[in-house]
Amino acid sequence: MPLTLRLAGVAFLCAALAGCAPNEVSDSPQPTSPNTSTVASATTVEPPPPLPLQATPAPTPALETESVEAPVVEEPYILDCQIGLGPIETYWSDGTVTGYSDYCQSVHDEVLQNEVDANTPVCDGTVCRYPSGATIPDPNAVPDDRCTNQINYAGDPRSNAEINSIGAQTGQCPAPIS
């Protein structure tokens, strides 16, 4: 009988370690060794005394960890463009500096156009006025060489049109009549 108890104890221990309850019945055939004897079903086998319980370690409290989300990688964006009329340089949010970008090209073109506009006078045929307020004589002005603009004909009985037509026909301005 002690051999039977030992075999039952070993079977119980194996079943417990394998995660099976001792009362469960397995449908798969159990291997038998040639040296073991079969126990008749009429024999009752008492389970071995319970094994002493080992102290299980106390559950460790879960460490509180901050959940760190993966940083969102943003597409670099333009911070600034080179000021002035030099070569195009683009300053990006990730710290890089590159040359051409469509945006900085448009800024460059706008600055250039503003510079051209600031240095382009508006001419009226007599004088040219700059946006700053400066004036110069209109270089494309047609000289007004009419006789009435060159000589004072005050008191002359002839009309300005008659005096100017005489000057245009002869190439000389007539002398004033008083």
pLDDT for 41 equals: 46
Residue with the bigger pLDDT between 9 and 114: it is 114
β-strand partners of 123 = 128
How many other CB atoms sit within 10 Å of the CB of residue 108? 21
Name the band, by pLDDT with cuts 50, 70 and 90, for residue 166.
very high
Global confidence as pTM? 0.36
Residue with the bigger pLDDT between 135 and 20: it is 135
pLDDT for 117 equals: 86
State which amino acid sits at residue 56.
T
pLDDT tens, position by position, 4-62: 666 666 666 656 566 544 454 445 555 554 454 444 444 565 666 666 666 666 666 66
Average pLDDT over the chain reads: 76
pLDDT for 4 equals: 63
Q: Are 174 and 166 in contact (CB under 8 A)?
A: yes
How many other CB atoms sit within 10 Å of the CB of residue 173? 19
Q: Are 173 and 146 in contact (CB under 8 A)?
A: no
Is a pLDDT exceeding 80 seen at residue 137?
yes
Q: What's the whole-number mean pLDDT along residues 161-172?
A: 92
Tokens of 48: 């071995």
pLDDT for 29 equals: 52
| Domain spans in the chain, listed from the N-terminal domain onward | 75-140, 142-172
Is a pLDDT exceeding 80 seen at residue 89?
yes
